[in-house]
Amino acid sequence: MSPALLEVEQLGVRFPAGRRRVLHAVAGVDLAVEAGEIVALVGESGSGKTTLGRCVLGLLAQSEGRVMLDGRDVRERRSGPGAVHRLAQPVFQDPYSSLDPRWPVERTIREPLDAQRIGTGPERAARVRELMEEVGLSPELARRRPRELSGGQRQRVAIAAALAPRPRLIVADEPVSALDTLVQAQILRLLDGLRAAHGLAILFITHDLGVVRELADRVAVMYLGRVVEHGPVEEVFADPRHPYTRALLDARPDPDPARPFTPPRLGGEIPSAADPPAGCAFHPRCPRAIAVCSHLRPPMTRFGPAHGAACHVAAAELASSTTTKEE
């Protein structure tokens, strides 16, 4: 089997956090994204999603492990047409702050081509026109600046700029959370269409499980720097095995206004990444925790061909059901 386009292996990222303290932002994460696949990375604020995304883009150095993109380490700094950093491009959360307010649309989209010396001058100009059309921007917007655009238009400019050097992977960090619902749907359709048209892979970082179900093929759930569950979206949503995944799913409001909504209540506070709990990091808040959870970190257990979860209780239930079937 050929390697995935993106392979994250035992990734760890640590930051100094005061005197003799270390913040474990990401710890022992494994993740793969195939060409043409959309993988969602979900979790609460502070779970390590954005830190992982920045490592994938080569914007942040990992403390341990490695990130391989198309078979090469993202820390490789060789320049030129085959440079690894051209293979992955970002789309950030706020399309206003991520764009230079002084630059018109055409210069923003062209900047990656100029910076990486891709094509001749006329070829770059043609590429800008092509990209504007592809993301649904009218040619008359070419000379406008970000303040003259709507939020959806600004995000389309950011997507066009990300596509300019023809990457194979887009890392989209909460790209629709600053937009209203209708514009969110438009941008999601655009991303899905670009994936289909170009075989793009997308690592989609979000906290919105509704967006995950709409867009992604697979999902990885992070809690306090670790992936606690991963698998095909429909399988994980239909049969979540980790209590944290279940809590996230239960926290979604019901679209039926006549049905009362009672959000789940998790005990305790989110632990500090500078002082993570022993054993399973979720155990101080977990309604199903047992004694072993407090001192032994659970391994990733397979619940299907591509579905895994790191939970002692779920693993014990699986072993029990397997034994019963055999008897």
Residue 18, pLDDT score = 78
pLDDT digits over 231-241, tens only? 999 999 999 99
pLDDT digits over 277-296, tens only? 999 999 999 999 999 999 99
CA nearest neighbour of 183 among 212, 142, 219, 154 = 154
How far apart CA 9 and CA 235 sit, in angstroms, is 24
Contact 164, 112 (CB under 8 A): yes
Residue type at position 74: V
- Ranges of H-type helices in the chain: 49-56, 105-115, 121-134, 151-163, 181-198, 209-215, 233-238, 243-250, 312-326
Structure tokens at 8: 């994250």
pLDDT level of residue 200 (50, 70, 90 thresholds): very high
Residue 41, pLDDT score = 97
pLDDT at 62 > cutoff 60: yes
Mean pLDDT of 245-263: 74
pLDDT at 81 > cutoff 80: no
Residue 264, pLDDT score = 64
pLDDT digits over 131-166, tens only? 999 999 999 999 999 999 999 999 999 999 999 999
